[in-house]
Amino acid sequence: MNRELLALWTPLASMPLLWLVVTLAAYLGARRLQRLLGGSPLANPVLVAIVLVGAVVLATGTSYPAYFAGAQFINFLLGPATVALAVPLARNLHHVRRSLSGIGFALLAGSMTSILSGIGLVWVLGGTRAVALSMAPKAVTTPIAMAVASEIGGIPALTAALAIVGGIVAAIVGQRMLSRMHIDDWRAHGLAAGVAGSGVAAAQVASLDGLGAAFAALGIALNGLVTAIIVPLVPLLWP
């Protein structure tokens, strides 16, 4: 960076405001890009915004903790947003009550699939044990995933990144893939998004349909419980 620009940048870089505005600008730009591309799911705005912000942070030689010191105010809103998932859940409770057994079986099967295939694929492809253990809890909501990873000897920061990128993958392919499997029911779409992709994929379903949002919220919450119970058993079976 040249000197004049640096002189302007340096006093701003220590303010939380700068990284808040950069993050918002990247997200707005990413949404506009997706609209320009005719709404392609490949141009996922969360992914594009992360790439844009990451590029700015790296190009300016900012450390991640310095960036996060500013952007944490956006991150803080994840708490109330998670609580807010209760609203579509409560409004659709009669649908949930009617399909309890389906939810139970689909949740257990999906959760086990995610954990075992995550560990298995990492192992088959030659990854280390630490990476496999970081992969195991990655389908659940980020704070649970990080807590479980640190408990079993994974790398919590890697798990957090995997949880978000995995959610982006689910948001990109989920709807198209399930529709191709002739699954045309918001309850199944919502639950699959919540179980396989947690918050990021749920956010995408929530913006489309209230019933889908209710089942996604349920998928996130219940998969969090199941994973927090099952994954800590993995290191016992694989010493």
The residue among 7 and 125 lying less far from other proteins, judged by its C-beta, is 125
CA 20 to chain centre: 20
| Minimum distance of other proteins from residue 24's CB (angstroms) | 7
Residue type at position 191: L
| Minimum distance of other proteins from residue 156's CB (angstroms) | 10
The residue among 7 and 217 lying less far from other proteins, judged by its C-beta, is 217
Instruction: Find the binding residues for other proteins in span 183-222 (CB under 8 A).
Output: 183-189, 191-193, 195-197, 199-200, 202-204, 206-209, 211, 213, 217, 219-221
Residue 35 as a binder of other proteins (CB under 8 A): the answer is yes
CA 190 to chain centre: 14
Token reading at 66: 């310095």
Would residue 39 be called left, alpha or beta, if left means φ above 0 and alpha means ψ between -120 and 50 degrees?
A: left
Interface mask toward other proteins for 52-91; x: CB under 8 A: -xx--xx-----x--xx--xx-xx-xxxxxxxxxxxxxxx
Residue 152 as a binder of other proteins (CB under 8 A): the answer is no
Is the separation of the CB atoms in 149 and 137 below 8 Å?
yes
Residue 6 as a binder of other proteins (CB under 8 A): the answer is no
Is the separation of the CB atoms in 131 and 138 below 8 Å?
no
Residue 175 as a binder of other proteins (CB under 8 A): the answer is yes
| Minimum distance of other proteins from residue 120's CB (angstroms) | 8
| Minimum distance of other proteins from residue 234's CB (angstroms) | 14
Alpha helices in 37-141 (DSSP H): 45-59, 64-76, 78-84, 86-91, 93-98, 100-124, 129-135
